[in-house]
Amino acid sequence: MKFNQFKCIKSKFSFFYHGLVSLLALSTSITSPSLMAFDNSDVLSSVKWEEKFFNPATTEGDVIFPLPCDGAIVFRKVFIPLSQPLEDYSITLGRDNDEWGFVEYSRPEHIAGSFTDQDEKNNIQGRYYLIAKYELTQLQYESITQGNCPKPSKKLLLPQTKVSWVEAMTAADKLNVWLREYHSEALPSEDGQLGFIRLPTETEWEFAARGGLSVTASEFREALPPMQGSANEYIWYAGAQSANGNLQLIGLLKPNPLGIHDMLGNAQEMMFEPFRMNKLDRQHGQAGGYVVRGGSYLTQLSEIRSSLRNESPYYDEKGAYRDKTHGIRFVMVVPALTSSDKVKVLEQAWLNLGNQQVSDEGKENTSEPTPLDTLANITDQLEDEKAKKELEALRTELRANAQARDEQRDEAIRSSLELGAFLCTKLKDDGEFYARLEGIYAKSCEKDTADETCMKRKAQLDDHKKVLDFMVGYYADTLVSNALNYRFSEIEPQTQILKQQMQARAKSNLNNYLETYWDHLQHYWKDGKISKDAWLAACKATD
């Protein structure tokens, strides 16, 4: 497959869309300390609502922001395991099915977070954006948009529907202005820019709906995210066994793997960008109405899926279009170009895309020109303007192909590292099991190895020794293959990303085995020795 088939040619933003981005960006001009770590644990001091009226299913990691009328709204962090300004995470959205292919067919996408994620020692772990834990309720919508504060009540915990796309964005605008005026200290910031609220992009929404980093690659591609139990426990859909034709209160069902409720079913959710059709590996050039995602309480369960998307008009014959199934879920992000300093960093990162050489120690190597540098020099020396433009276009295409190649290589490295870590766990299990069998045989058959029972135990012992030898050999083969195919500078960054992925999937214990595997790789690079016995012993000693 050609590399340019992996390029997703996008023109997602119409003039209307660009105008909204500009308006929202202007509202974030208030500055704050660069990379300020925010802690809104004291937000509840300004909230008078009982928690059941804004967070009926409290979970660790909830991020709470104040609302007008002494209210609150809850968000969840969605992590991306990359931290550099031009780094983004490769994902595949949509579904691999020709039915409604012009709407939902799978396509490559990329996602990046807005805010820097730091550990307790201020080490950068990656990035994240924030997405609302629940669909915006009638109580919250009225608190944001009405002059008189509503009295909190259970019936107002239904998702707010029957609002137009512009009204949804107007609510976001009002909340942004209010937060900046009264509670700017509660907002996260990045590089001096405060976060702001808007509707989600399709990529932000679908990444979160599928479970983000909390699920495996195969689970991410399933029609529905992983569920412990039946769909009735997670999704409000059409029929007497579920919603029975009625919109339902927020937070009654179980959340998805990221702790987010009702992304599928109940109310369809409006997206930020206009609807575009799918044209195999890219989106079609026509921008239409707005996108709604996730299905509703009137959608059959057989039709609900993470890839489900539909188009709705901004206006009908009566004016602004409103639908009884359309709801709102906000995200919180920051502008991409946060400062002049960041622009300088981005400029250099852009020049390095597809054109960067690094040494085996992981440092940028500028001592020798790359082939693309040579091509650029040749282009600069030409006097024929037409030829110069053609060569520059060729160079851009080559850089894009090289960048796509590097991203595919990085994904392959992460898969190989995860396999190595898993094989290390197998060596531990198989090695310990063989050691127990060997101990039993030595203790019970020390005096009479010809005994029939002992002969059976010896045969069992020999069989498991073959299995263990095979696993050790397989472990060694994968390790040597990685060592020969990739360099330290290529593998080392991917180990850090994989650690974050496994942490998000609650498989942090696998990180210890990854460390063991990574240590073995580095020793092999240094001495070239295939130390099967030592590798087995190290994996057995890993906890």
Q: What angle do CA 75, 79, 80 make, to 5 degrees?
A: 145
Kind and range of the H or E element at 110?
strand 107-111
Could you tell me which residue, 103 or 24, shows the higher pLDDT?
Answer: 103
Model pLDDT, residue 201:
97
Rounded CA Rg of the chain: 27
pLDDT tops 80 at residue 95? yes
Question: Can you list the domains of the chain with their CATH numbers?
Answer: 40-340 (3.90.1580.10), 350-404 (no CATH), 405-541 (no CATH)
pLDDT tops 70 at residue 276? yes
Q: Kindly report the backbone phi and psi dihedral angles of residue 127, in degrees, each rounded to the nearest multiple of 5, phi listed first.
A: -140, 170
Could you tell me which residue, 383 or 266, shows the higher pLDDT?
Answer: 266
Could you tell me which residue, 13 or 478, shows the higher pLDDT?
Answer: 478
What is the CB-side half-sphere exposure of residue 159 using CA atoms within 13 A? 34
Mean of the per-residue pLDDT values of the chain: 85
Could you tell me which residue, 122 or 474, shows the higher pLDDT?
Answer: 474
Say which range, 111-115, 276-280, 346-350, 506-510, has the weakest mean pLDDT: 506-510
Residue 155: count other Cβ atoms within 10 Å of its Cβ: 8
51: nearest Cα among 21, 73, 29, 34: 73
Tens digits of per-residue pLDDT, 186-204? 999 999 899 999 999 999 9
Model pLDDT, residue 28:
34
Model pLDDT, residue 367:
52
Model pLDDT, residue 1:
38
Residue for token pair 């962090």: 77
Residue for token pair 């190290």: 538
| Percent of the chain whose pLDDT exceeds 90 | 58
Model pLDDT, residue 499:
87
Highest average pLDDT, of 123-127, 169-173, 215-219, comes from 169-173
288: nearest Cα among 101, 99, 8, 12: 12
Model pLDDT, residue 25:
36
Model pLDDT, residue 82:
84
pLDDT confidence band for 283 (50 / 70 / 90): confident
pLDDT confidence band for 379 (50 / 70 / 90): low
Model pLDDT, residue 21:
35
Model pLDDT, residue 389:
76
| Percent of the chain whose pLDDT exceeds 70 | 85
Average pLDDT over residues 295-308: 97
Per-position DSSP letters for 315-331, written without gaps between them: EETTEE---TTEE---E
Model pLDDT, residue 131:
98
Model pLDDT, residue 169:
98
Model pLDDT, residue 42:
62
Token readout for 340 is 């002049």
pLDDT confidence band for 518 (50 / 70 / 90): very high
pLDDT confidence band for 417 (50 / 70 / 90): very high
Model pLDDT, residue 22:
37
H helix runs in 108-161, sequence order: 138-145
Measured between alpha carbons, how far is 310 from 103 in angstroms, rounded to an integer?
Answer: 8
Measured between alpha carbons, how far is 463 from 455 in angstroms, rounded to an integer?
Answer: 12
Say which range, 137-146, 341-350, 355-364, 368-377, has the weakest mean pLDDT: 355-364
Is the torsion defined by CA of 469, 471, 476, 477 positive or negative?
positive
Residue 444: count other Cβ atoms within 10 Å of its Cβ: 13
Q: What is the pTM of this model?
A: 0.76
pLDDT confidence band for 359 (50 / 70 / 90): very low
Average pLDDT over residues 48-55: 95
Model pLDDT, residue 373:
65
Model pLDDT, residue 59:
94
